[in-house]
Amino acid sequence: MNAETGIGASVLRKEDARFITGKGQYTDDISVFGQTHCVFVRSPHARAKINSINTDAAMAVDGVIRVFTGGELVEDGIGDLPCGWVVTSKDGTPMVAPPHPPIATSVVNYVGEPYAFVVAETLQAARDGAEAVEADFEILEAVVDTATASSSTQIHENAPSNQAYDWELGDKEATDAAFAAADHVTTLDITNNRLIPNAIEPRAALGSYDAASSTYTLYTTSQNPHVERVVLALFVNVAPEANLRVISPDVGGGFGSKIFVYAEETAVIWASAKVGRPIKWRADRTESFLADAHGRDHVTKAELALSSEGEMLGLRVKTIANMGAYLSTFSSSVPTYLYGTLMAGQYKTPAIYVETQAVFTNTAPVDAYRGAGRPEATYVVERIVETAARELNMDPVELRRKNFIPPDAFPYQTPVALEYDTGNYAASMGKALEIADHDSYAARKAASEGNGKLRGRGYSCYIEACGIAPSQLVISLGAGVGLFESAEVRVDVSGSVTVMTGSHSHGQGHETTFAQLVSDRLGIPFDSVNVIHGDTGRSDYGLGTYGSRSIAVGGSAIDRALDKIIAKGKKIAAHMFETTDDQVEFAEGQFSYAGSNEPKPFAEIAGAAYIPAVYPLDELEPGLSEKAFYDPQNFTYPAGSYVCEVEIDPSTGVTEIQKFVAVDDFGNVINPMIVEGQVHGGLAQGIGQALLEHGIYDADGNLSTGSYMDYAMPRAADLPDFEVDMTSTPCTHNPLGVKGCGEAGAIGSPAAVMNAITDALGVKDVPMPATPHTVWETIQQGA
Amino acid sequence: MKVDLTVNGSQHTVDVADNALLSDVLRETLGLTGTHVGCDTSQCGACTVHLDGRSVKACTVLAGQADGGDVTTIEGIANGDDLHPMQVAFRANHALQCGFCTPGMIMSAIDLVQTADSPLSAEEVREGLEGNFCRCTGYHNIVKAVLDAQANM
């Protein structure tokens, strides 16, 4: 392999060439002939009955072409926005999914829910038109609070107690028995604050209809264009799947929020046929705050049973998860199968029982946001483990070490359904402590105290589950989609290669990482590999990018397609060598045969494949192009140890992170530079959750944090330099030994920060985000 | 209204609405879509360009205010194939992921370095980039890139 561009090399990114020169093509950068502009009219009320909508004044605005209301979509057969995973409650009943029309018809259930939209010649005219739409609302009592939602006014007719489902996982009796036998029980009541994802590129859509061919083309900011296409075709009934092309060009960050199928692109693509012209929409930032799916928002009671020596015996978790007003595309899976299943963490806790009650409120829908359930699980486990250590007067590091699943115990079946394939948790912990100068902490603490500051240290040892799979298991648990990934490797006549992947890059650098993988295996130059993604018209059906799945599932699919390319190449080479394909070896870009001293370079075989002179065409088809669909046998299980040290100024409550160490085990790594970058970004979002970010609704359901003036995004000066390193136990069940790295930072970091803050303050809990005001108040209460 | 602008060295006279923003003119009228719009409150900085040599948020400048001005956008900082040292440093240090904030970040960073009285520390770079959001990188590699570019500017 080429040490500069092969697997394991920090190759600089191909895609940067366009991004650093302003040549990226994001959805809003694309304009087409005759395009119109669209603005959505959004509910100013958290909950209201729509008595009537008057569009006459809007239609009279100069430049307005059409004003649409929800009823027109219903009349045209447009269906509800579906939730793709049916979770079953304890009592065996399926979850309650309230009707979710893309454009509200008779009721609105959160501030920002669209109930009409205006199409106009210019954006300004569309805005003026939207201002002129008049609606008569009957305002109803709104439900906002997560903890009390189930005892509040009923929002949806089919959802008594505002409950979507009441789910459980684990052995309740065994867990109760563990608690009965315990020497010590630690309890913790914690919340996981609502976050608003805030990819810097706002969502956008450009839909057009070609009447001559009855085909639709939708450019949109999607992490998974094929899923968008199938939902719009099969559930929303916009058009037959074959007549709908979805293109996700360059996408400016997703973090989960661009997985889902939203009202806006649905309306734009549908209306493009009604108007007979292309329609473009781009969210204002305030619309992003109001109408992008939010993340987290849990209220949890957790209990940990331990022996007097600190052996973890049982864990009981009861969570109320706020789903918002409707069930967004994959929302139901987040506080259940991506949450309860992670409660074993890195520990051999023998008995675990988790209950999740999902409730509706009159707030924006909540769905997957970076980590999606796993940050919430890690927050529960790592906060309660640290709390237990303090209560038992044990070193929190020692308590963890005592309970780690040991390296020789893999594969390890947890009591909450998952089977971990591999790991070495003590190794990550040891490396993290070394980097963090663990042993010299006392001197740093004394120095802080000398300066009138409070110093604290916290740990977090997270487990993640990436590349959700296998399809048949997940479908049996209620998922409505497969969880494989597709790849097509097209070898050109000259030996260069085009890869079509069903994964989608919105910052992850797939054009580079996947090219490294291909160039390494085929022994061809890195620059002769071109990776194509994000277009249903060009690549085969794929599931897109979320859940840190792209390398583990998408990369493995490419690897499988490469197996087929090499196998066919051997057959062609065998004819050239006048031998059989089992006698042909392939390595370092050369096909070779022991009976010949003239190996055939890959490009020569590619040429021979397309200029089929040397092999019999009744035995072997011409060409060299192969596809693979890879369905994993299991999740992958990245894990790591994070250490955070904070210094708090008691006079202001300001927390400064003075040290943040992250040691992750992602198995094999293709491009360490890109992987470290993924960790940095995840850490920033996790630290943002711990210190700054909070999506807040007032009692009437108005979003108080609806702009960057109100929602505290982490800025450069809010964050420390990160100390990032890795250990590796390769995944045992995929061909690359890879695990996935996209979410780890956001999963592991909140607990590390909050463990450090509670350590510094000497308190059991501080609610996230630990803003200066919250910290200062905590100090005052203790004083 | 008619507005005269020099953009990346080329002269333009554009006929725009009185309330047109500089960012609208660059993106919609001149097709320079490298200047991105990420918010509506002048907070994110994705739209940062240089107006008469200083960085401004193009979403917060009326086109009319820029009349007669000299505008440089991300498309105008390289000299042919010869990239600006800040562009080189951003790529070399993996200071971008999705790339959406990158043009504004690079334009702010160039102004930050050019207007500094003495070489900037990492902390000063962090403070100096307070007007630009990045949601992908955690800023770690952006700070490295700016310090790296500073040595070559």
Inter-CA distances, B106 with B48, B86, B89, B109, Å: 9, 6, 10, 5
Could you tell me if B61 and B120 lie in one domain?
no
Structure tokens, A335? 């506080």
Here the CATH number for the domain that contains residue A119 is 3.90.1170.50
Question: Is A353 within a domain?
Answer: yes
* pTM score: 0.97
A581 and A496 assigned to the same domain: yes
Contact A395, A694 (CB under 8 A): no
B122 and B142, same domain (yes or no): yes
Top residue of A23, A26, A32, A200 to mutate, by most chain B CBs within 10 Å, is A200
Give me the residues of A, 186-245, that contact B with CB < 8 A: 198-202
* A227 and A116 fall within a common domain: yes
* A420: nearest Cα among A580, A639, A242, A201: A639
Q: How many CB pairs below 8 A link A and B?
A: 176
Q: Quick check: is A103 in a domain?
A: yes
Residue A671's CB is within 10 A of a number of other CB atoms, namely: 26
The reply to whether B142 and B120 lie within a common domain is yes
Q: Are residues A223 and A80 in the same domain?
A: yes
* CATH code for the domain of B145: 1.10.150.120
Residues B67 and B123 in one domain: no
Contacts 24+ apart (CB under 8 A), A90-94: A90/A166, A90/A167, A90/A168, A90/A355, A91/A166, A93/A165, A94/A165
B13 and B45 share one domain = yes
Shared domain for B64 and B26, answered yes or no, is yes
Q: How far is B68 from chain A (nearest CA, A)?
A: 24
Residue A185 placed within a domain: no
Is residue A6 in a domain?
no
Residue B126 domain boundaries: 85-150
**If 0-12 CB within 10 Å is exposed, 13-18 middle and 19+ buried, where does residue A37 land?**
buried
Cis (ω within 30 of 0) for the bond into A769?
yes
β partners of residue A135: A53
Please check whether residues A414 and A529 belong to one and the same domain: no
Among residues B54, B75, B96, which one ends one of the domains? Answer: B75
- Token pair in block for residue A779: 């100090």
Q: Domain count of chain B?
A: 2
For residues A514 and A428, membership in a common domain is answered with no
The β-bridge relationship of strands A163-170 and A625-630 is unpaired
Contact B101 A200 (CB under 8 A): yes
Domain identity same for B110 and B60: no
Task: Look at residue A480 in the predicted model and tell me its pLDDT.
Answer: 86
Instruction: Check whether residue B60 and residue B29 sit in a common domain.
Output: yes
Is the domain of A276 the same as that of A401? no
Q: Is there a domain that residue B107 lies in? A: yes
- Note whether residue A1 is domain-resident: no
User: How many Å lie between the alpha carbon of A173 and the closest alpha carbon of chain B?
Assistant: 44
The verdict on B69 and B103 lying in the same domain is: no
Nearest to A26 among B39, B43, B100 (CB): B100
**Residues B97, B35 share a domain:** no
Chain B residues within an 8 Å CB radius of A716 = 125-127, 129-130, 132, 134, 139, 142-143
Q: What order of strands is seen across the sheet that includes strand A590-593?
A: A584-587, A590-593, A600-601
Q: Give a yes or no: residue A473 inside a domain.
A: no
A21 touches chain B (CB under 8 A): yes
What size, in residues, is chain B? 153
How many independent structural domains does chain A possess? 3
Pairing of strands A279-282, A36-42: parallel
pLDDT of residue A783: 63
Of A29, A255, A745, the CB nearest to B33: A29
Question: Looking at beta carbons, which residues of chain B come within 8 Å of A506?
Answer: 98
Give the pLDDT of residue A476. Answer: 87
Which residues in chain A are contacts of B75 at CB distance < 8 A? 21-23
Q: A600 vs chain B: nearest CA distance in angstroms?
A: 36
Residue of B nearest to A288 (CA): B39
Domain end position, chosen among B75, B102, B137:
B75
% of residues, chain B, pLDDT over 90: 100
Structural domain contains residue B80? no
pLDDT along chain A (783 residues), means of 10: 89 98 98 98 98 98 98 97 96 97 98 98 97 98 98 98 98 98 98 98 98 97 97 94 97 97 98 98 98 98 98 98 97 97 98 98 98 98 98 98 98 96 98 98 98 98 93 88 94 98 95 98 97 96 92 96 98 96 97 95 97 93 97 96 98 98 98 98 98 98 97 98 98 97 97 98 98 97 79
Task: State how far the alpha carbon of A235 is from the alpha carbons of A227, A257, A274, A330, B131, in Å.
Answer: 11, 20, 20, 14, 42
Asked if residue A304 and residue A215 are part of one domain, the reply reads no
- ipTM of the shown complex: 0.98
- Give the CATH number of the domain where residue B58 resides: 3.10.20.30
Q: Are residues A438 and A308 in the same domain?
A: yes
Q: List A residues 275-294 in contact with B (Cβ-Cβ < 8 A).
A: 282, 284-286
Q: Report H helices in A672-767.
A: 672-691, 744-761
Clarify whether residues A458 and A437 are in a common domain: yes
Residues A600 and A674 in one domain: no
Are residue B114 and residue B132 in the same domain, yes or no?
yes
Give the domain-ending residue among B75, B94, B125. Answer: B75
> What pLDDT does A782 receive?
81
**Structural domain contains residue B63:** yes
Give the CATH number for residue A513.
3.30.365.10
A642 touches B: beta carbon within 8 Å:
no
Question: Residue A270 belongs to what domain range?
Answer: 31-140+201-252+258-291
The sign one gets for the Cα dihedral B53, B59, B61, B62 is positive
Residues A262/A331, Cβ–Cβ less than 8 Å: no
Tell me: do A598 and A645 sit in the same domain.
no
Which pair of tokens denotes residue B89? 């440093």
- B36 domain-assigned: yes
Minimal-distance CA residue of chain B relative to A672: B94
Same domain as B122, residue B64: no
From A268, A291, A314, give the residue that closes a domain.
Answer: A291
